[in-house]
Amino acid sequence: ILNVEQSPQSLHVQEGDSTNFTCSFPSSNFYALHWYRWETAKSPEALFVMTLNGDEKKKGRISATLNTKEGYSYLYIKGSQPEDSATYLCASSIYNQGGKLIFGQGTELSVKP
């Protein structure tokens, strides 16, 4: 069974704070790690997909890293803004089942102005 765990479950920060979340996943038969951002009343939106150990991706103020050997990924947000408020989901897939994503429960971020 592939379990993907995210922490913390929720996070409340002030505008301008930098923050980070953790996603842990089983490292055996790892194929890909995805990060999605899900704003209230909208659809989940893909942020990053990473496959190689040591991968780092960046999109504006948001970046992510991947460690496949120890089975974790970090998502960083630099200088949080109210519009960053959303639930951030990570999802893993395993080799030979690449089409099936196993999602964590998400980290709900609230950024106060």
Partner 1 sequence: DAGVTQSPTHLIKTRGQQVTLRCSPISGHKSVSWYQQVLGQGPQFIFQYYEKEERGRGNFPDRFSARQFPNYSSELNVNALLLGDSALYLCASSLWAGGTVGANVLTFGAGSRLTVL
Query: Cβ distance 10 to 111 under 8 Å?
Result: no
The token duo for 10 is 């929720």
Among the listed ranges 14-22, 36-44, 67-75, 77-85, the one in contact with partner 1 (CB under 8 A) is 36-44
* Residue 107 neighbours by CB distance under 10 Å: 22
Q: Smallest distance, Å, CB 1 to partner 1?
A: 9
DSSP annotation of 42? S
Decide: is 43 part of the binding site for partner 1 (CB under 8 A). yes
* Contacts with partner 1, residue ranges (CB under 8 A): 4, 6, 31-32, 34, 36, 42-46, 49, 51, 89, 91, 93, 95-106
